């Protein structure tokens, strides 16, 4: 099975957007560990606490606060550096926040992507760009069928629609500007990511941890809903492998799903929550229905093309991902250093078969 190649990343000039977020912080830590010269641009972290601050991510890379909604600011910032590779992860990532504030979500996820791609047209040394979208980009009739990359894009809620729109924006920039310049630009559609250090609102694992610390049961809106759960290290390994392949072989697919291993068990929100509360010794979860919710009840992605094209598939199943996640939170709460925990789990992941 394909693995991330540290030698490929050593000395590469990488622009990472969204480095102050949960997944972006893990990406910054891992890339810097492999010797990449990482520059991160993003808004300041909006979580308290945040993995960015707990792990001192800003001390490991070049970190700048830039609002991707401001085209002039993005253009000015990128003129100050030269980059080989770009991993665009900055986004407004919360479904319920998007429902509450759709305009900011569209400005961030759609126009922010357009502003970045426009500014990247001036990067003469650019080798490849990977834009991270979501498993929610597909027109979902909730049949339970796993979506493949060729399925129709859509989105009945603002978050899903914004990510589907970002797919279209990215493809249009690629065909109009980057393909003629010989620079492959692709999208990665990641599953529902869990891992230590996520303190976001309305995220299942973060909600479980907060409830456990308060001695209360976590409240689930849709315990029957199913999602393609994936540990953050599996997801990032997929992104890194895809970007490596794009930089060395422009014929690589321009859109790939990254999620659980094909054929693996379907895990509901309730089942994942049960694993989480048991790992923490917390109270059983409680169900509080939200009949007005626009969130999809069934979602699954087919990751088999990533295996065919890259030789890549996830290494951790849902119980293993939950166990690793909860171990991070338990040990960090007991006083262990957040950065050391991340580095230990990255090293352990790299050593898995």
**For position 120, which CATH number holds?**
3.40.50.720
Mean pLDDT for 54-68 is 98
Task: Let me know if residue 1 belongs to a domain.
Answer: no
How many domains would you assign to the chain? 1
CA angle 323, 327, 328 (to 5 degrees): 120
Specify the higher pLDDT residue, 266 or 40.
40
Nearest Cα residue to 20 out of 49, 48, 43:
43
Mean pLDDT for 344-351 is 96
Is residue 104 very low, low, confident or very high in pLDDT (cuts 50, 70, 90)?
A: very high
* Gyration radius from the chain CA atoms: 19
Residue 138 to residue 70: CA distance in whole angstroms: 28
Query: Of the given ranges (52-61, 137-146, 239-248, 259-268), which has the lowest mean pLDDT?
Result: 259-268
Mean pLDDT for 317-344 is 96
Task: Let me know if residue 276 belongs to a domain.
Answer: yes
Task: Let me know if residue 287 belongs to a domain.
Answer: yes
CB proximity list for 58: less than 8 A, separation 6 or greater:
52
Q: What is the pLDDT of residue 261?
A: 87
Nearest Cα residue to 269 out of 255, 253, 289:
289
Query: Of the given ranges (86-95, 239-248, 275-284, 286-295), which has the lowest mean pLDDT?
Result: 286-295
At 113, give phi and psi (nearest 5°). -65, -45
Distances (CA, A) of 59 to 38, 267, 327: 11, 37, 25
Q: What is the pLDDT of residue 224?
A: 93
Domain hosting 173: range is: 8-350
With beta carbons less than 8 A apart as the criterion, state whether 195 and 26 touch. yes
Q: What is the pLDDT of residue 263?
A: 78
Is residue 1 very low, low, confident or very high in pLDDT (cuts 50, 70, 90)?
A: low
Task: Let me know if residue 235 belongs to a domain.
Answer: yes
For residue range 80-95, list pLDDT tens digits in order. Answer: 999 999 999 999 999 9
Q: Per-residue pLDDT for 122 more than 90? A: yes
Specify the higher pLDDT residue, 324 or 191.
324
Nearest Cα residue to 226 out of 273, 277, 293:
273
Nearest Cα residue to 22 out of 139, 190, 143, 224:
190
E strand residue ranges, the chain:
13-17, 37-42, 62-65, 85-88, 128-132, 185-190, 192-194, 219-220, 226-227, 229-231, 255-258, 267-268, 286-287
Q: Per-residue pLDDT for 119 more than 90? A: yes
Is the model's pTM score more than 0.75? yes
Mean pLDDT of the chain: 95
With beta carbons less than 8 A apart as the criterion, state whether 114 and 173 touch. yes
Instruction: Report helix, strand or coil for 42.
Output: strand
Q: What is the pLDDT of residue 289?
A: 84
Q: Per-residue pLDDT for 154 more than 70? A: yes
Nearest Cα residue to 230 out of 338, 130, 145, 315:
315
Residue 337 to residue 53: CA distance in whole angstroms: 12
Task: Let me know if residue 3 belongs to a domain.
Answer: no
Query: Of the given ranges (30-39, 175-184, 276-285), which has the lowest mean pLDDT?
Result: 276-285
Residue 305 to residue 187: CA distance in whole angstroms: 13
- What is the helix, strand, coil percentage profile of the chain, to 5? 45, 15, 40
Task: Let me know if residue 138 belongs to a domain.
Answer: yes
With beta carbons less than 8 A apart as the criterion, state whether 280 and 322 touch. no
């Amino acid at each position: 099975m394909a693995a991330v190649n540290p030698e490929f990343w050593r000395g590469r000039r990488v622009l990472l957007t969204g480095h102050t977020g949960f997944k972006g912080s893990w990406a910054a830590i891992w890339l810097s560990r492999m010797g990449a010269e990482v520059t991160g641009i993003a808004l300041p972290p909006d979580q308290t606490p945040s993995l960015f601050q707990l792990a001192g991510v800003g001390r490991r890379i070049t970190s700048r606060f830039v609002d991707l909604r401001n085209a002039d600011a993005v253009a000015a910032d990128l003129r100050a550096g030269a980059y080989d590779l770009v991993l665009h992860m900055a986004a407004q990532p919360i479904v319920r926040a998007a429902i509450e504030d759709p305009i900011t979500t569209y400005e961030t996820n759609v126009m922010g992507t357009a502003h970045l791609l426009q500014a990247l047209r001036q990067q003469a040394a650019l080798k490849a760009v990977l834009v991270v979208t979501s498993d929610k980009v597909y027109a979902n009739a909730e049949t339970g069928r796993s979506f493949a990359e060729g399925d129709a894009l859509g989105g009945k809620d603002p978050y899903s629609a914004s990510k589907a729109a970002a797919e279209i924006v990215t493809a249009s920039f690629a065909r109009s500007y980057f393909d003629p310049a010989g620079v492959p630009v692709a999208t990665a559609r990641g599953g529902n990511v869990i891992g230590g250090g996520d303190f976001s609102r309305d995220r299942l694992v973060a909600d479980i941890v907060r409830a456990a610390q308060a001695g209360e049961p976590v409240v689930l809106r849709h315990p029957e809903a199913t999602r393609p759960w994936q540990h953050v290290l599996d997801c990032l390994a997929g992104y890194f492998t895809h970007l490596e392949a794009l930089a060395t072989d422009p014929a690589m697919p321009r859109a790939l799903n990254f999620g659980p291993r094909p054929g693996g068990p379907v895990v509901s929100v309730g089942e994942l929550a049960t694993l989480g509360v048991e790992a923490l010794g917390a109270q059983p979860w409680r169900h509080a229905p939200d009949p007005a919710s626009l969130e999809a009840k069934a979602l699954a992605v087919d990751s088999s093309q990533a295996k065919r094209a890259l030789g890549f598939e996830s290494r951790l199943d849902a119980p293993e991902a939950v166990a690793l996640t909860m171990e991070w939170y338990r040990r960090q709460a007991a006083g262990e250093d957040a950065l050391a925990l991340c580095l230990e789990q990255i090293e352990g992941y790299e050593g898995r078969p």
